[in-house]
Amino acid sequence: MIALDTSSIIAFLAGERGSDVSAVEAAFRLRQGVLPPVVVTELLSDPVTSGELAALIRAVPTLEVFDGYWDRAGELRAGLRRKGLKARLGDTLIAQSCIDSKVSLVTRDRDFRNFARYAGLHLG
Protein backbone atom coordinates (compact mmCIF):
# COMPACT_ATOMS: atom_id res chain seq x y z
CA MET A 1 0.00 0.00 0.00
CA ILE A 2 1.30 3.46 -0.94
CA ALA A 3 -0.34 6.85 -0.53
CA LEU A 4 -0.61 9.12 -3.55
CA ASP A 5 -0.39 12.91 -3.35
CA THR A 6 -2.44 15.33 -5.42
CA SER A 7 0.63 16.69 -7.24
CA SER A 8 1.65 13.28 -8.55
CA ILE A 9 -1.89 12.25 -9.51
CA ILE A 10 -2.36 15.48 -11.47
CA ALA A 11 0.98 14.91 -13.23
CA PHE A 12 -0.09 11.34 -14.05
CA LEU A 13 -3.42 12.50 -15.47
CA ALA A 14 -1.65 15.19 -17.53
CA GLY A 15 0.63 12.58 -19.09
CA GLU A 16 3.78 14.02 -17.54
CA ARG A 17 6.84 11.91 -16.83
CA GLY A 18 8.80 11.24 -13.70
CA SER A 19 9.49 8.60 -11.10
CA ASP A 20 6.44 9.75 -9.14
CA VAL A 21 4.20 9.35 -12.20
CA SER A 22 5.58 5.84 -12.76
CA ALA A 23 4.85 5.03 -9.11
CA VAL A 24 1.27 6.33 -9.43
CA GLU A 25 0.75 4.26 -12.58
CA ALA A 26 2.10 1.13 -10.87
CA ALA A 27 0.02 1.76 -7.73
CA PHE A 28 -3.16 2.03 -9.81
CA ARG A 29 -2.29 -0.99 -11.96
CA LEU A 30 -1.47 -3.17 -8.93
CA ARG A 31 -4.34 -1.73 -6.87
CA GLN A 32 -1.95 -0.68 -4.12
CA GLY A 33 -2.68 3.05 -4.16
CA VAL A 34 -4.54 4.75 -1.34
CA LEU A 35 -5.52 8.38 -0.90
CA PRO A 36 -5.17 10.51 2.20
CA PRO A 37 -8.58 12.12 2.84
CA VAL A 38 -7.24 15.62 2.10
CA VAL A 39 -6.08 14.44 -1.35
CA VAL A 40 -9.64 13.30 -2.10
CA THR A 41 -10.87 16.77 -1.11
CA GLU A 42 -8.22 18.54 -3.19
CA LEU A 43 -8.96 16.46 -6.30
CA LEU A 44 -12.76 16.74 -6.03
CA SER A 45 -12.66 20.48 -5.32
CA ASP A 46 -11.28 21.30 -8.78
CA PRO A 47 -14.27 22.80 -10.62
CA VAL A 48 -13.29 21.06 -13.87
CA THR A 49 -13.19 17.55 -12.38
CA SER A 50 -15.35 15.38 -14.61
CA GLY A 51 -17.86 12.87 -13.31
CA GLU A 52 -15.69 10.10 -14.73
CA LEU A 53 -12.62 11.33 -12.85
CA ALA A 54 -14.66 11.80 -9.67
CA ALA A 55 -15.80 8.17 -9.93
CA LEU A 56 -12.19 7.05 -10.34
CA ILE A 57 -11.12 9.05 -7.28
CA ARG A 58 -13.95 7.59 -5.20
CA ALA A 59 -12.95 4.06 -6.28
CA VAL A 60 -9.48 4.38 -4.72
CA PRO A 61 -9.38 3.41 -1.02
CA THR A 62 -9.00 6.27 1.45
CA LEU A 63 -6.78 6.21 4.51
CA GLU A 64 -8.57 6.03 7.84
CA VAL A 65 -8.60 9.01 10.19
CA PHE A 66 -7.60 7.65 13.62
CA ASP A 67 -8.58 9.03 17.02
CA GLY A 68 -6.35 11.92 18.02
CA TYR A 69 -5.47 12.72 14.38
CA TRP A 70 -6.32 16.41 14.63
CA ASP A 71 -4.25 16.87 17.78
CA ARG A 72 -1.26 15.02 16.30
CA ALA A 73 -1.51 17.06 13.10
CA GLY A 74 -1.58 20.31 15.07
CA GLU A 75 1.43 19.24 17.11
CA LEU A 76 3.28 18.14 13.99
CA ARG A 77 2.71 21.47 12.27
CA ALA A 78 3.62 23.45 15.38
CA GLY A 79 6.85 21.47 15.76
CA LEU A 80 7.96 22.19 12.21
CA ARG A 81 6.98 25.83 12.44
CA ARG A 82 8.97 26.19 15.68
CA LYS A 83 12.01 25.10 13.66
CA GLY A 84 11.22 27.86 11.15
CA LEU A 85 10.15 25.34 8.50
CA LYS A 86 7.32 25.55 6.02
CA ALA A 87 4.35 23.39 7.00
CA ARG A 88 1.20 24.19 5.03
CA LEU A 89 -2.00 22.96 6.62
CA GLY A 90 -3.01 20.67 3.74
CA ASP A 91 0.47 19.14 3.56
CA THR A 92 0.48 18.62 7.32
CA LEU A 93 -2.84 16.78 7.19
CA ILE A 94 -1.64 14.57 4.34
CA ALA A 95 1.64 13.81 6.12
CA GLN A 96 -0.13 12.98 9.39
CA SER A 97 -2.50 10.58 7.59
CA CYS A 98 0.47 8.75 6.09
CA ILE A 99 2.42 8.69 9.36
CA ASP A 100 -0.60 7.33 11.26
CA SER A 101 -1.21 4.61 8.65
CA LYS A 102 2.50 3.80 8.31
CA VAL A 103 2.47 4.20 4.52
CA SER A 104 4.88 5.96 2.19
CA LEU A 105 3.77 8.99 0.19
CA VAL A 106 4.42 9.43 -3.53
CA THR A 107 4.67 13.14 -4.28
CA ARG A 108 6.48 15.63 -6.45
CA ASP A 109 5.87 18.39 -3.90
CA ARG A 110 9.25 19.14 -2.32
CA ASP A 111 7.59 20.69 0.76
CA PHE A 112 7.09 17.17 2.15
CA ARG A 113 10.85 16.83 2.68
CA ASN A 114 10.53 18.65 6.02
CA PHE A 115 7.99 16.07 7.19
CA ALA A 116 10.32 13.29 6.10
CA ARG A 117 13.38 14.82 7.74
CA TYR A 118 11.82 15.80 11.07
CA ALA A 119 8.60 13.81 11.52
CA GLY A 120 9.16 10.32 10.17
CA LEU A 121 7.16 10.59 6.96
CA HIS A 122 8.41 8.06 4.40
CA LEU A 123 8.55 9.28 0.82
CA GLY A 124 8.21 6.67 -1.91
Which residues does residue 3 pair with via DSSP β-bridges, in sequence order? Answer: 34, 105
CA dihedral sign, ordered 21, 11, 27, 76: positive
Per-residue pLDDT band for 103 (boundaries 50, 70, 90) equals very high
Strands, sheet with 33-34, edge to edge from the N-terminal-most edge strand: 33-34, 2-4, 104-106
26-56: per-residue pLDDT in tens? 999 999 999 999 999 999 998 888 888 899 8
pLDDT of residue 49: 83
Query: Is residue 88 predicted with pLDDT exceeding 90?
Result: yes
pTM reported for the whole predicted model? 0.94
The pLDDT mean for the chain works out to 96
pLDDT of residue 11: 96
Query: Is residue 123 predicted with pLDDT exceeding 90?
Result: yes
Q: Which amino acid, one-letter code, is at 88?
A: R
